[in-house]
Copies of this chain bind each other. A is one copy, B any other.
Amino acid sequence: MDGRVSTARRATSADVARLAGVSRTTVSFVLNDTPEQSISAETRRRVLAAARELAYAPSAEARALGRGHSTSVLLYLPPAGSLTEDIGDIIERLSVLFDEAGLSMVIHAWTRRPAAQVWSSVTPAAVLAWDLEDDDAERMRRNGVRGVVSWTGSDVMGRWITGPREQDIAGVQVQRLTSAGHTHLGYAVTGGDHMHGVSQWRFEMLRRECTSRGLPAPRMLHLPAEPGGAAAALSTWRAENPAASGVCAHDTTAALAVLSGMRQLGWAAPRDLAIVGVNDSRAAALADPPLTMVALDTDVTARYIVAVITALVQGAPAPRLPATAGASIVDRDSV
């Protein structure tokens, strides 16, 4: 119950040096396996033993200070309310992978206050943002951030990350619906989401996919989050687009909202309307009927993001998108 502050001081490389009876420099050479330096086996053994005994771990701050940039990656969270299960999965994955790459992930919510103050607090090696203005990106670069990557924005980097991915998603969705005989499609999204970059981008990809296959352009279906409103929005949308028989939902919530509205109207899926959602989740699997979803391979996606960022941090050319696209269909009963 006490708020007592431990006075324990963590071990420094000087402590290790003292215990091993060598200089601090030698400790650094041993622990970093500095090439072109010859250390006798006996000395190396003593240093390692001392380090282990003191549970020595180098200070990231001091290291960053010397090198000029830290090993932390600043991740801007998506707009409020969109930290959902699937995004959570990717973040979890990213955390592990960055860890393995020797980087640590710092998370900040996306607020509109002067960006400088935010990244000043960490001096990140790279910034991974959900959606990034061009001038923000440029300002970050000018302040020494080595990698600036956005998931959805107009920055070139962004397309590397999610652009092709979004295209794959749209492709899988349309493919599944057309193979079931649906040609007139809709794009369903809930709440204020339709204003965000992600859904704009995905809607655009969907449009391109449809025109490239010679299908009519998809029709936007904007649903409120409450069940009652969903039914109303659904019936007016059907009245305006009588031919539409299949809908691509933006996420699990949108798919569930469509389902809920249909239930109120006495419609059944897929008989009256077929649904393909994006980002599989437990809620989607447990819905009635269980939802057919496009699953994003979070591991592939996360791995690629980490590969791009580590490359940028090291000044190497960024890798090309992996061949395995990472978007696959999970067939259930809503198509």
Contact = CB atoms under 8 A, between A and B. Distances in A.
A123 B170 CA distance: 43
Interface in A100-156: 104-109, 111, 116-123, 139, 141-146, 156
Chain A interface size band reads 35 or more
A28 interface: no
A59 B65 contact: yes
Nearest to A105: B107
B10 A144 contact: yes
Interface centre among A59, A259, A316 (most CB of B within 10 A): A59
A95 B141 CA distance: 24
A287 to B, nearest CB: 8
Interface stretch (A42-50, A249-257, A321-329): A249-257
Taken together, the copies of this chain in the complex come to: 2
A1 B257 CA distance: 39
Given A62-B65, A283-B283, A108 B116 contact: no
Contact of A70 (B61, B71, B287): B61
Interface of A: 1-3, 5-6, 8-10, 55, 57-62, 64-65, 68, 70-72, 75, 77, 80-81, 83-85, 87-89, 91-92, 95-96, 99, 104-109, 111, 116-123, 139, 141-146, 156, 190, 225-227, 252-253, 256-257, 259-260, 263, 281-283, 285-288, 290, 311-312, 315-318
15 contacts: A3-B315, A6-B142, A8-B143, A8-B144, A57-B116, A57-B120, A59-B65, A59-B123, A61-B65, A77-B92, A83-B88, A99-B111, A107-B107, A225-B286, A288-B288
